[in-house]
């Protein structure tokens, strides 16, 4: 069993990745101390061909994942880790705040709402949105931007929402759009994007 309690994102995922690369076990158990880490580890193991289940153990979470004997460990999903080719664009938008610009937060919130609404004009070039820091608030219950994000998601735009950030703001259970993610997914996505736009 991997004891990853006390490790900050993305260390639990990286430890699980190292274990899979080193041993390719049939059964993996990872103990973490927060719900965001349990979701990140579970999602990573799922991407590797494991069936993962999460169980609370007091204040901690045990991620138990198993693959059928003889089934090889899978490569990460190609849509996450492959580069764009030819004229295909993969634009990633990194959203670092729930407001756009500095000066007045009310104005900034309105600008951010309009910015997200206008992103659809990028068409199929818009590949992924990554929400970090207070940007995660835009994907949560009650946010005026939530319908826009859900619509983008429905058209195939990937939305990654930082689990550590959701945890920090106490919003893990209020996320209504996108996938809870970790820094490994974020960095990997930035690496293979054609272009990264930061707001």
Please, what is the Cα angle at 154 between 92 and 167, to 5 degrees? 65
Closest CA to 138 of 121, 154, 114: 114
Give pLDDT tens digits for 10-26: 889 889 999 998 988 99
Reported as a pLDDT band with limits 50, 70 and 90, residue 137 is very high
User: Residue 166 in 3-state DSSP?
Assistant: helix
Check residue 185 and give its pLDDT: 87
Check residue 16 and give its pLDDT: 92
Check residue 79 and give its pLDDT: 44
Q: Is the pLDDT of residue 4 over 70?
A: yes
Q: Is the pLDDT of residue 83 over 80?
A: no
Say if residue 10 is preceded by a cis peptide, omega within 30 of 0.
yes
Please indicate whether residue 188 or residue 87 has the higher confidence score (pLDDT).
Answer: 188
Task: For the beta carbon of residue 134, count every other beta carbon within 10 angstroms.
Answer: 15
Give pLDDT tens digits for 52-75: 999 999 999 999 999 866 655 554
- The residues near 78 (Cβ < 8 Å, ≥ 6 apart) are none
Check residue 74 and give its pLDDT: 52
Q: What percent of the chain has pLDDT over 90?
A: 66
Domains of the chain and any CATH numbers: 2-66 (3.30.110.40), 78-198 (3.40.1260.10)
Arithmetic mean of pLDDT, 124-146: 96
């Amino acid at each position: 069993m991997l004891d990853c309690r006390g490790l900050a994102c993305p260390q639990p995922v990286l430890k699980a990745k190292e274990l899979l690369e080193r041993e390719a076990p049939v059964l993996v158990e990872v103990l973490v101390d927060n719900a965001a880490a349990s979701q990140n580890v579970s999602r990573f193991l799922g991407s590797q061909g494991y069936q993962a289940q999460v169980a609370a153990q007091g204040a901690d979470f045990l991620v138990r994942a198993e693959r059928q004997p003889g089934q090889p460990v899978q490569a990460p999903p190609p849509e996450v880790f492959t580069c764009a080719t030819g004229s295909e664009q993969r634009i990633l938008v990194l959203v670092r705040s729930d407001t756009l610009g500095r000066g007045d937060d009310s104005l900034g919130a309105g600008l951010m709402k309009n910015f997200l609404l206008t992103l659809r004009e990028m068409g199929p070039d818009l590949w992924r949105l990554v929400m970090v820091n207070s940007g995660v608030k835009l994907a949560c219950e009650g946010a005026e931007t939530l319908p826009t994000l859900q619509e983008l998601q429905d058209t195939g735009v990937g939305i990654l929402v930082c689990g550590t950030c959701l945890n920090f703001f106490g919003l893990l259970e209020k996320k209504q759009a996108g996938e809870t993610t970790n820094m490994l997914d974020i960095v990997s996505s930035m690496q293979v994007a054609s272009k990264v736009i930061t707001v």
